[in-house]
Structure 1
Amino acid sequence: MTIQKLSLTNFKNHSEKTFEFSPEINCFVGNNGVGKTNILDALHYLSVGKSFLGNTDLNNIMMGESFFTIEGEIFDGEKENIIKIQQPKEAKKIIRKNDKTYDRIADHIGFLPSVTISPYDSNLISDSGESRRKFLDSMISQTDREYLFNLIQYQKTVQQRNALLKSFAKSRYFDHENLEIYNEPLIKFGTKIFEKRKEFISSILPLIQNYYEIISNGKEKISVIYQSDLQDSPFLNLLHENLEKDRILTYTSKGIHKDDLLFEMNGNLLKKIGSQGQQKSFLVALKLSQMNRIKVITGKTPILLLDDIFDKLDDSRVSQLIELVNRENFGQIFITDTHKERTANLVKKINEESKIFEIK
């Protein structure tokens, strides 16, 4: 997959911008605050229909304007495709592929797979389990439509069950049989999600460990442990055993919506003992492993978005990363940096066709 051209209108701080890209390496250089990361975010929109920065769509409309538009020309190996995303202030977001509007944004996921490595990834290590669950779901959903469907159905069922629990508390009335209606869909979709997550972590862990060993020169050993309530007990048992607890709390306290990933280094939690460089190296290894799985499963090479990749990495780790990118043939790459000379030297080391865009 190759993005040949990107056009922005009223997107964040870019009123009108058009870029024609190299099929291999593209670098955006300039001072902090000029909008380099915003360009990567627009490319991320083309891939999954939303921001990787966590901003709401409306907040990405340029101040004083009534809409934003992102348009990309994408070559899929056989033909050119036009992806167009429009967000008006007073209406819902529209995503079109070759002038045909998607009925659901979920239908677009997987067409243009992408992997983003940015300073914001540190939240995966420091934040609550919710961040890691969302990341895990995002990784699997890019290659598995059924998983995405099961996830949407499960989340919908949990919301409905929680709403019923809250209504019981409000009315001071509890209907056990009415609540049990939700057991079957929770178990059906939740168990499928659990099995898929377990299988995915098992398949990706050796890749993460291998990439980390290369980037760090084998200095530390890392691991990823999948934690789930369903590992200790069948879902039906969890629902029965925690029924009274759920009634008091007025929400569903057990299930795959409470899953977590533990990132470990030398047997200890990475967030407790890992330096900033070690944590960044782990996140890079995690994302490169994601790229590898997408490529193997779908046959598509994801675009790689590297935002401020030099931050927190020493020269040795950067050199290993560049060597890895060279060896693995990761496809089209987009890089942001504040130093033009450093970027130019990096591109020479990778030795591929490239373009450098100065953003002002």
Structure 2
Amino acid sequence: MFLEKIYLSNFKNYEEANFTFSSQVNCIVGENGSGKTNLLDAVYFLALSKSAIHSQDALNINHDADIMMIDGVFRKGDKKHQITCSIQRGQRKVLLHDKKPYERLADHIGQFPVVLIAPDDTELIKDGSEGRRRFFDGVLSQMDNDYLIDYQHYNKLLDQRNSLLKIFFERNFLDQDLLDTYSDPLVKIAIRIFEQRRNFIEKFLPIFKKHYQILGEGREEVEIIYESEVASGDFVKEFRLNRQTDVKAQRTTKGIHKDDYVFEIDRYPVKKFGSQGQQKSFVMALRLAQFEMLEELREAKPILLLDDIFDKLDDRRIQKLIESIDNQTFGQVFISDARPERTEKILENVKAEINYIRTR
């Protein structure tokens, strides 16, 4: 599977642009601010119907325009798939597959798997639990459409329950029966999501450890510990007993939206005790494990996006990555770099077909 071509109209700094890609390695080179990351984000957007950078769709529209469009052609075997995504300010996003709209946007996720490795990936380690949940939810959503639907339904119920809690707080009363119309389905979905996350981590962990051992050359042991309040055998009871606390807080204070994934190295938090190199290896191993699991499930190599990583990785880790590209561990690869001569030097012995795209 690979992306053959893409057309951009008023997407970020691109008023109008066409690009054709190699099925193997594509190097996007140009000065900082010329649109390298934006082009990678357009590929990501086409595959997942959302930006890797902006949480609000409207922020992807060129400042001087009211509507943006991304149109591209993916190839799977002998079959081509045209995907078109358009966003108009103040209106809902439109996503088409071969010029026909999806019944649900969720049906698109995972059809064209993609993995992004970006400079700020170490924020997964440094920031709070929300970023780690977002990472694993993103992996699971590409792997399991049912998980994505549950996740979206949970967040919708959560917003509705939180709105109701605010009303109860402001009016100083609690209608337990009304609250239960949101609480009961929320708890059921929370338990289901917890089980899906727990089962996923059991499968993900050995693959992640394998990749870390390769990158870290076996010098230390790493671990990911999934923590959830739902793991308690009394979660349903605890959730119900927490009503008054929720009203005072004006939000739901228990549930899978509080889950965390604890990253450890030799039984100590990576955030506090991991060196910069260890943290980079940890995050790279997360992404490579994501790639391997998606490949196994989807029976196709995901598109790999490498955004400005040569500035962030040391020579040894870059060499490991290039070796993987050279032995065809990956399928289609996109690499962005502000220094074309560096990219050419790093890739000079790679046997794969390399396509250079210069942004202006």
Place the TM-score, normalised by the shorter chain, in its bin.
over 0.9
Shift of 1:90: 4.2
Bigger drift between 294-303 and 349-358 goes to 349-358
Query: 1:359, 1:129 → 2: CA distance?
Result: 36
Query: 1:21, 1:87 → 2: CA distance?
Result: 24
**Which residue number corresponds to residue 289 of structure 1?**
289
Asked if the contact 2:2/2:75 (under 8 Å) is kept, the reply is: yes
SS at match of 2:34: coil
- Matched ranges for 1:208-247 at <5 A: 208-247=208-247
- Deviation string 1:235-292 (CA, Å, 9 cap, x unpaired) is 3122133223222212211111110111111211111122333222211110110011
C-alpha spacing 1:165/1:66, structure 2 compared with 1 (3 Å): closer
- For the pair 1:99 / 2:99, whether they are aligned, the reply is yes
**Which residue number corresponds to residue 16 of structure 1?**
16
SS at match of 1:75: strand
Bigger drift between 32-41 and 12-21 goes to 12-21
**Which residue number corresponds to residue 169 of structure 2?**
169
Shift of 1:25: 0.6
Query: 2:75, 2:53 → 1: CA distance?
Result: 26
- Deviation string 1:93-133 (CA, Å, 9 cap, x unpaired) is 21111110223322211111100000132221122211111
Normalised by the length of structure 2, the TM-score is 0.95
**Which residue number corresponds to residue 45 of structure 2?**
45
- Matched ranges for 1:200-279 at <5 A: 200-279=200-279
Query: 1:20, 1:119 → 2: CA distance?
Result: 25
Query: 1:234, 1:299 → 2: CA distance?
Result: 39
Shift of 1:55: 4.8
Amino acid at match of 2:219: K
**Which residue number corresponds to residue 309 of structure 2?**
309
- Matched ranges for 1:20-169 at <5 A: 20-169=20-169
Query: 2:44, 2:266 → 1: CA distance?
Result: 34
Query: 2:247, 2:90 → 1: CA distance?
Result: 39
- Deviation string 1:269-323 (CA, Å, 9 cap, x unpaired) is 1111223332222111101100111111121221000001113311112112222
Shift of 1:328: 5.9
SS at match of 2:237: helix
Runs of 5+ consecutive residues of structure 1 not aligned to the other structure: none
Shift of 1:327: 4.1
Asked if the contact 1:4/1:75 (under 8 Å) is kept, the reply is: yes
Query: 1:241, 1:55 → 2: CA distance?
Result: 34
Query: 2:350, 2:199 → 1: CA distance?
Result: 34
Query: 1:128, 1:222 → 2: CA distance?
Result: 19
Query: 1:163, 1:291 → 2: CA distance?
Result: 38
Tell me how large the CA RMSD over aligned residues is: 1.6
Asked if the contact 1:301/1:330 (under 8 Å) is kept, the reply is: yes
- Deviation string 1:155-180 (CA, Å, 9 cap, x unpaired) is 22222222222111111111223322
Query: 1:16, 1:181 → 2: CA distance?
Result: 49
Asked if the contact 1:215/1:321 (under 8 Å) is kept, the reply is: no
Query: 1:90, 1:229 → 2: CA distance?
Result: 38
Query: 1:278, 1:350 → 2: CA distance?
Result: 26
Amino acid at match of 1:194: F
Amino acid at match of 1:249: A
Q: State the number of aligned residues.
A: 360
Amino acid at match of 2:233: S
Query: 2:50, 2:118 → 1: CA distance?
Result: 16
- Matched ranges for 1:171-190 at <5 A: 171-190=171-190
Query: 2:170, 2:182 → 1: CA distance?
Result: 20
Identity of aligned residues (%): 41
Query: 2:214, 2:273 → 1: CA distance?
Result: 20
Bigger drift between 66-75 and 346-355 goes to 346-355
Query: 2:294, 2:69 → 1: CA distance?
Result: 28
Shift of 1:203: 0.7
Asked if the contact 1:183/1:236 (under 8 Å) is kept, the reply is: no
C-alpha spacing 1:353/1:234, structure 2 compared with 1 (3 Å): farther
Query: 2:276, 2:32 → 1: CA distance?
Result: 21
Amino acid at match of 1:80: K
Asked if the contact 1:307/1:336 (under 8 Å) is kept, the reply is: yes
Shift of 1:60: 1.6
SS at match of 2:50: coil
Query: 1:48, 1:113 → 2: CA distance?
Result: 8
Amino acid at match of 1:3: L
SS at match of 1:350: coil
